[in-house]
Amino acid sequence: MRVEHKRLAGWWVMVVAVVMVGCATTPPQATPTTEPSATPPASTASATDVVTPTPSNTPPPSLTPTPFRFPPTLQPQSVCAETPPTRLIIGERARISDEDTTDLNVRAQPGANANNPPIAKLQVGDVVVVVAGPVCSDRYTWYEVEGGSLRGWVAEGDADVYYIEPFLSQ
């Protein structure tokens, strides 16, 4: 490993020297108004000249590492007033919660009104996949879920209880 460092360091010095020699050529001359001479202009640097970089007065960059700051953690937010913060994730599984032991109504559209009656019911422990949402309607946060041949909208919960919860374990 040390031999490689020395080899790389020596190579780097050669590159710097070549660049410095290339920069040390004479400035361009004004365009002559008469015939050019047959002899080319003399260069001030040759291939055997050694160029040593001079130290500058600029201090080296600080070697103190900058501390990493984690971005703020996202907190679940309520979608509708007087509903719990939403916890479901689109594309992930969810389970009917046992916080309320009654069956969970599944509806064709978001909303709990007479024009949108339940099309099915899910029981405590049933697992579904969340496919859309959240939508706020009729004081509830609604998610579209799918399980087997069933697809419809369920309320996530009310002010006191979650009806459906994330189910991320196998």
Q: Domain-by-domain residue ranges, the chain?
A: 93-166
Q: What's the rounded Cα separation, in Å, for the pair 29 and 42?
A: 12
Tell which residue, 83, 77, 87, has the closest CA to residue 112: 83
Mean pLDDT along residues 15-40: 51
Mean pLDDT along residues 40-66: 62
Answer whether residue 28 shows pLDDT above 60: no
pLDDT of residue 163: 95
Give burial (CB, 10 Å; 0-12/13-18/19+) of 101: exposed
| Segments of 7-113 assigned E as strands | 93-96, 104-107
Share of the chain above pLDDT 70, in %: 56
Which numeric CATH code is attached to 93-166? 2.30.30.40
Establish how many alpha carbons lie within 13 A of residue 37's alpha carbon, considering only the half-sphere containing its beta carbon.
4
pLDDT of residue 144: 98
Name the residue with higher pLDDT: 60 or 137.
137
